[in-house]
Structure 1
Amino acid sequence: MVPPLQEYSIGNLLWIPRTQCAVHDVIELPSLVGKLRETIKKIDGDFVKRLQGGEGLSMISENVKEMVDLCSGGPVDYYGFTSWSKFGIYETDFGFGKPVWVSSHKISGSMFMNLVHMLETREGDGIEVWITLDESEMNMLLGDQEFLAFVSVDPSPTD
């Protein structure tokens, strides 16, 4: 951020960037990643200045309205992504030592469906990902051999 936040700042900066792909779009993973990257690149220093300034409330209201419009227009498959990477969570000592394993609250309910939650591993050499999908989509994902070649499903947090 410009100017940067103070060292001990805490709180949430909320913005819901979105990338849309229509059902009839034939899109491969690299082009989807490109679309996502373009969306996220729009959240830069100038954007944050506008958000912090006089336009902030109207920008947030418009963003929420667009999400409501998108979701109320008929069935929509929505996938959310969030990351706790680079937060230094595994380096934080809350008075009883550094954590062995960090997790979120119990992730359940429709609010958390289709959510991909990323966090760096304790060693900092990889990414742990929690994925919440409905049962049929999860079964499809867990049956995808290409996906399984890159992941460890349900590893022990102490390994």
Structure 2
Amino acid sequence: MSDQKQYFYLKVHACTNPEYNGRYLRYTGSGHADIVLTPDHPKFIKFYLEDEKLMASFKDKVFGFCMSVDHDEGGEDHAGTRLYKVEIFENRADIGFSFGPDKEQLLRWRVIVAVQKPTDSQKATSQWKSWACRENPADMYKGYPQLYWTTEDVSEDWSDGIEKLEIIAEYL
């Protein structure tokens, strides 16, 4: 029986900083679970959707997108912007991923997050709103911006170095 999966790279379709348009999402490896934006497509990992899980494969290994929801702290605060890390781990994956019905078929994540200690700008329950990248995180990998997600609407109040992204699949 043949492998019927549709493989693709994940690519930035649009960004509030046009410098990142057309960049690819890559797993850093090297002991990091982070996903970063790079000018070149991944060399080894191909993505696919399976049962609403965003998976990646390399040889006989399987990895999955994990949305790193820290329920107790409610994400990371960066100059007033609440961000949640997107990571990739072997043999794990969160559910709720799909490509939207819009013309561009943007990557979406269907989830509701229970925030234990909401700030004034948060509700006790928040939903995924958008993807974001952050320049210069503390654990930055080789100078590449890192992928996050947020429960906040994009506004002009977002701090410098945080950009809103739209992500699409580039099918192989």
* TM-score, normalization by structure 2: 0.23
The structure richer in strand per residue is 2
Q: Which protein has the larger Cα radius of gyration, Structure 1 or Structure 2?
A: 1
* TM-score, normalization by structure 1: 0.24
